[in-house]
Amino acid sequence: MRKTLLGGALCALAVASAAAAPTKLEASSVETKGAFVEALLQAASVKPDATGRSPYADVPTGSPLWGYVHKALELGVVKPDAKRTFGARDALTAAQAAEMTVAVYHMDLGATSPFQWAKSQGLLSQQGVLTTADAAHLIAGLKSLLRTLAEIPGSWSLPADKRAELLRAMTNSAKAPYIQLQENMAEMYKTKWSSSAQKASAEAELNQLLQSMSMQLTLSAQQMHVGSHTYAVVQENVSSMAGRHTVQVVNDDGAFYEQQDGSGWKIIQSKFADSQVMSLASGILTHVTWAGRQGSFDVFRSQINPAAMLQLISELGLGKGDPSKALLHATGDITLTIDNSSGAP
C-alpha cells in the first residue's frame, strides 16, 4: 500500500513538474539569423553579392547564403557575431528582425523603436525568439505594406488604419464631381557676403544678375465629372529669364488637346488616364504622418515628392525646358484634412 501511494505521488510530481517547465521551441521552428537575412533581402528585391571570400566558418564562400550575408553586411543591415563567425544559426529575436527590417529600407521612425513600429504595423506581436511562422508573417506583412506605400512613399510610421483611410480619400477625391488644384513656386536668388567691403563692391551687380535668373511657376488644374463624362484642364505658367511661357492641356473625356503660348489647339497623345489627371495617389505625397484630429476632421501632414511632380507635369505635356527641372529641388509641406463622418472619406 505504501509503495502504491509513493509511486502515485512520484507520478503526480513528475506530471506537475512537466506542466510547470517552460516550453522549449523545437530547433526546426526557430527562425535563424541567416535564414531571415536571405528572406528579408529577397522581399526587398536586393540581389545577393557572392563576390569575395567569406571569412566566416559558418557561412563558407561556396554556400548559397554567402551572397545574401555579404550584401547585408555591405548595406549595414546586420553585423557578424565575431571576426570568424557570422552567427547564421543563431536564434533570431523579434527585436533583431525589426532592426534589420528598418535598416534595409532606411526608415526614419523618429523616436519610435523598430520593434514598436513593427508591432504597430501588425508585423510582430511579441518580443523574444522568433519562430519561422512569425518570420513568415513579418515578411508577408512587409510585402503588403510595400504595395500600399507605393502610392505614398516614405510613410513608414503612418498607422495601418490611417493609411487605409488616406488611400480611400485619395480614390474618392479623384472621382469627385469637381476638383481644383493650384501649385505656386518661386525661385529667387540672393547673395550673402562675409565682409562689408565685398558687399559694397559686388553685391548690387551680382544680385541684378541673379534676379534675372529667378523663376516663378504656377500650375493649376480643374477636373469635372458629369455623369460618365470627364473634363479636365491643366495650365502651367512660367516666368523666367527666357521670358513667359504658358501651356494648357485639356482632357475631353480621353481626347487630349494642347495650346502653347496662345497658339492654336492641337491634338496630343497623353499617357494619363482620366482618373489620373488629378489623382493625389500618383506619388505626389511622400512621408505622410498622422497629426491627430481637428474638430470633426482627421489631419495628416505630408511633404511633396519633387520627382513625382516633375513626372506629372511631363506626362501632361507641360514643363518644356529647363525651368520645370527646378521642381526636382523643390520642397514643400502639405496639410490634408479628411472628413470621414459619412464613412466615405
pLDDT digits (tens, 9 = 90+) for 291-314: 999 988 999 998 887 777 666 666
Instruction: Quickly state the pLDDT bin for 17 (edges 50, 70, 90).
Output: very low
**Would the pTM of this model clear 0.75, i.e. be above it?**
no
> Which pLDDT belongs to residue 172?
82
> Which pLDDT belongs to residue 192?
60
79 and 216 share a domain? no
Considering the chain, what is the average pLDDT of its residues?
A: 79
Most confident of 76-85, 169-178, 256-265, 316-325: 76-85
121 and 38 share a domain? yes
Predicted confidence (pLDDT) per residue in 206-229, tens digit: 666 655 566 777 878 888 888 888
Under a CB-based contact definition with an 8 Å cutoff, are residues 310 and 327 in contact?
A: yes
| Domain end (from 114, 149, 184) | 149
> Which pLDDT belongs to residue 255?
87
217 and 298 share a domain? yes
Residue 88's CB: how many other CB atoms inside 10 A? 22
Quick check: is 63 in a domain?
yes
Query: What is the count of structural domains for the chain?
Result: 2
- The mean-pLDDT minimum among 25-34, 52-61, 276-285 falls in 276-285
Quick check: is 154 in a domain?
no
Instruction: Quickly state the pLDDT bin for 245 (edges 50, 70, 90).
Output: confident
Under a CB-based contact definition with an 8 Å cutoff, are residues 136 and 29 in contact?
A: no
Predicted confidence (pLDDT) per residue in 121-170, tens digit: 999 999 999 999 999 999 999 999 988 887 788 888 888 888 889 988 88
Quick check: is 9 in a domain?
no
| Domain end (from 87, 118, 149) | 149
Quick check: is 3 in a domain?
no
Q: 136 is in which domain, residue-wise?
A: 25-149
205 and 290 share a domain? yes
How far is Cα 41 from Cα 61, in angstroms, rounded to an integer? 18
| Domain end (from 95, 115, 149) | 149
60 and 170 share a domain? no
141 and 225 share a domain? no
43 and 108 share a domain? yes
39 and 139 share a domain? yes
Quick check: is 1 in a domain?
no
192 and 140 share a domain? no
Cα–Cα distances (Å) from 18 to 9, 15, 28, 30, 162, in that order, read 14, 5, 22, 22, 46
Q: Contacts by 58-63 with C-beta closer than 8 Å and gap 24+?
A: 58/34, 58/85, 58/86, 58/87, 58/88, 58/89, 59/34, 59/86, 59/88
